[in-house]
Structure 1
Amino acid sequence: MTTGTGTVESPPGPAVVKRVGGRGLVEVVLRAREISIAGALIVLVLATTIANPRFMSAQGVKDIFLNASILALLAVGQTLVVITRNIDLSVGSVVGLVAFLTGKFVAGTERNVLLAVLVAVAIGAACGLVNGLLVSFCRVPALVVTLGTLYVIQGLDHYIAHGQQINASDLPSSVLSLGNDGVFGIPYLPIITVVVMLAVGYYLRSYSSGREFYAIGSSPEAASLAGIPIRRRVLTVYLASGMLAGLAGALWLSRFGTVVADAANGWELQVVSAVVVGGVAIVGGVGTVYGAALGALLITTIGSVLVVLKVDAFWQQAITGVLLLLAISVDRLLALRVARALRKGNRRHGS
C-alpha cells in the first residue's frame, strides 16, 4: 500500500506491535536525539562566545530566537506531515505568497493584526488543502505534488507581485509591532512558536487521533486494518502544515516589513533539515515536534555563528546539507538497531 511516497513493507507481527519494551526503547532513542541536539547547541554557543564574546549579547540572543521562530513554526507543521510518511516541499513558497498577499491586504490601512493573521492562515489552509487532496484522495506521490505546487505557488506569487514589493512604511503599526515587540522583554514571535509547539506536541501525545499519525507512518497497512481513516488523517496533516505556513507568512511580514515575491525562497531544505536533524524519521512513524524545533534552533544558530565568524554564507547551505545527510544516516542506523533489539526481545519471550 502507498501513502504518497512509495510502497511500504509489510506490517510487523502482533508480538512486535504490542511489545511495550520496544516502544520504550524507541522513546529512549528519541530522547537521546533531543538531548544530543541540545548538547550540540550548548557546545556551539560556548565555543563561539569564547571566540567572540559579543555573540551572546542581549541583541544577539534576541535575533537568534526571532530568526528561529519562523523556521521552528514551519518545522512543527512539517513534522506532522513527515510522521505520516509524506513530505511538504511547498512550505517556503506558501510563506512567500502569504506574506505578499497579506501585505497587500493591510498596506495603506489600519486593519487589525488579528484580521491579517486570519487572512494569512486562510490562504495557507487553501494551499495545504490542495496538497492534501491530491496526496490523500487522488493518490499522487507527495514528493511530486508538493514539488509541483512549490513552482505553481512561486509563479502565482511573481504574477501577482509584478515586480512590486511591500514596504514596512505602508504597514499598520499593529502588524509591525507583532514582529518587533514583546512581553516582559520576550518577543512575541518565540512566544507564539512555543505555544503552537506545546499545543501540537500535547495533541500528538495525548489524543488517539494524534497517535494515529504515528501508526500511519509506522505501517499504513496495519493502520488500515485497524480502521484508521488514513486519507482523512493525511489530509488533516497537510491542512495543518498549510495553516502553520500561513501563520509563518504573517510572522514573516511583521518581522521584516519589506516583502518581495521570492520571500522565503529555498527554505524547503532548511525546514526538512530541521525536522530530520531533530530526530523525525524521514520514513515516518517516529519523532516529536520538540526535536524538530530544536533542529530549527540549531540550524539558525549555525547560520548566526558563521556570520559572527565572517564565514562565507555558502557554507551555511553546505553545512545544512551535511547535517541532513548525517541525520538520515543516523536515523537508518538507529532504526536497524531498534529493529534488531526488538527481534532479540521477541525471541527471548518466545514470540
Structure 2
Amino acid sequence: MTTALEKPPAVARERSDARRLVDAVFHAREFTIGGALVLLVLGTWLTNHSFLDDQGVKDLLLNASILVLLAVGQSVVVMTRNIDLSVGSVVGLTAYTCGDLVSGSQHGPVVVVLVGAALGALCGLVSGALVSVGKVPALVVTLGMLYVLQGVGYALANGGQINAVNLPDSVLALGSGSVLGIPYLPLISAFVLAATAYYLRSYRSGRELYAIGSSPEAARLAGIPIRRRVFAAYVFSGAVAGLAGALWLARFGTVVANAAGGWELTVVSAVVVGGVAITGGTGSVWGAALGALLLTTISGALVVLRVDPFWEQAITGVLLIAAITTDRIVQVRTTNALRKRSRR
C-alpha cells in the first residue's frame, strides 16, 4: 500500500519522463550550437587553411576567453529572471583601475586578479542590493550602473590611458603566456566555467537559482531565500566581470577608460544564443560558453574571409532573434506536451 509520503510508481515514472523531456529539449540547443560552431570552423578552414594553424587557434581561444567569462557570470543572473547590463562598464573600470595601480610597480598578476575581482564584486553588490532588497527593476538598475561606472572611469582616466610599457612583465605574461602550448586566459576561463557548472548542478543553492527563474512565486512558497540568491548572483557576476577586466589588462596592455564599451549586448546575445532563456529558469553555463565561442568565431571568420565587419552585428542580431523565438516555441510545445502527459 502506498503511504502518504510515497508517490505511486505511475506518478513517479510520469514525473521522471517529464523531467527527461524537458532536459532533452533544452540540451538540444547546446548540441545545435556546437554543430553550428563545428560547421563554421570547418567551412572557414576549407576557404583559408591558416584559420586553424597554431596561431589561428591561439587567437580564437584568446579572443573568446574574456567573452566566455562574462557569459558565465551573466548566465547566472539571467537564470534568476534578471539581467546585468553593467558588465562592460565593470570590465572597463576594473581594467583601468588595476592598470593604474600596478603601473610602474612590481605588483604581480595575483594582485591584479584579486583587486579586479574585488572591485567587480563591489559593483555587483550595489546592483544586487538595489535589485533584491530595493526591488528596483534589474533593467533600470544595471543600465544606470552602466552609465555611472562609465562616468567614474572617465573621471579617473581624465583623458589618459594605461600603456603596456608601464606594466610589470609578469602581468603582461599572464595575457601572453601559456602552459603546454595552451594560453593562460582560456585555462582560467575554463576553470571558472567548470567550477560554476559544478556548483549549479551539485549544490542546492545553485539549483535554487533555476527555481527562482522558473517561478518566483513557487520559489517563495517553497521557502527559497530569493533576495539572498539574487543578491549573490549579482555579486558573482560582478566578480567575474572584474576578473575579466584584470585579464583584459593583461591581454591588451594598453587600456582606455571605455574598454569593453558596448559589450553588454554581445554578452547577453551569447547567453541567449547559448540556450539560457531570457525569461529565466532554463539553460546552462556550458551553453552560454558555446554561444560566446560561436559569436567570437563568427567575428574571426569574417576577418579571415574579408567580409565587411558590419555583417558581424547583423548576424548576431539574427541569431539573437532566432534564439528568443526558438525559446518561445519550445516553451509552448513543452508545456503542451507535459499537459498531455499529465492528462494521461
**Who is 2:330 aligned against?**
334
Structure 2 counterpart of 1:240, from 236, 241, 257: 236
1:134 and 1:180 mapped to 2: Cα distance? 38
Superposition map of 1:234-313 within 5 A: 234-313=230-309
What secondary structure does 2:258 align onto? coil
1:346 and 1:143 mapped to 2: Cα distance? 36
**Who is 1:148 aligned against?**
144
1:225 and 1:298 mapped to 2: Cα distance? 39
**Who is 2:88 aligned against?**
92
* Deviation, structure 1 residue 214: 0.3
Structure 1 stretches of 4+ moved >4 Å: none
* Deviation, structure 1 residue 53: 1.3
Give the AA of the match of 1:242: G
2:16 and 2:277 mapped to 1: Cα distance? 20
Fraction of identical pairs, as percent: 65
1:309 and 1:138 mapped to 2: Cα distance? 49
Q: Does 1:172 align with 2:168?
A: yes
Deviation per residue, 1:138-194 (Å, 9 max, x gap): 000000100110011111111110110101111011110111001100000110011
**Who is 1:53 aligned against?**
49
**Who is 1:205 aligned against?**
201
Q: What is the count of residue pairs matched by the alignment?
A: 333
2:279 and 2:159 mapped to 1: Cα distance? 40
Deviation per residue, 1:32-75 (Å, 9 max, x gap): 11111111011111111111111111101110110100000000
Give the AA of the match of 2:173: S
**Who is 2:114 aligned against?**
118
Listed as ranges, the gaps of 5+ residues in structure 2 are 1-10
**Who is 2:4 aligned against?**
none
Query: 136-145 vs 52-61, which deviates more?
Result: 52-61
Listed as ranges, the gaps of 5+ residues in structure 1 are 1-14
* Deviation, structure 1 residue 30: 2.2
* Deviation, structure 1 residue 22: 2.1
Structure 2 counterpart of 1:323, from 309, 319, 341: 319
**Who is 1:219 aligned against?**
215
2:251 and 2:66 mapped to 1: Cα distance? 9
**Who is 1:130 aligned against?**
126
TM-score computed with the length of structure 1 as normaliser: 0.93
What secondary structure does 1:86 align onto? coil
What secondary structure does 1:19 align onto? helix
2:153 and 2:309 mapped to 1: Cα distance? 26
**Who is 1:10 aligned against?**
none
Structure 1 counterpart of 2:105, from 97, 103, 109: 109
**Who is 2:64 aligned against?**
68
* Deviation, structure 1 residue 209: 0.6
* Deviation, structure 1 residue 233: 0.3
TM-score computed with the length of structure 2 as normaliser: 0.95
2:281 and 2:240 mapped to 1: Cα distance? 21
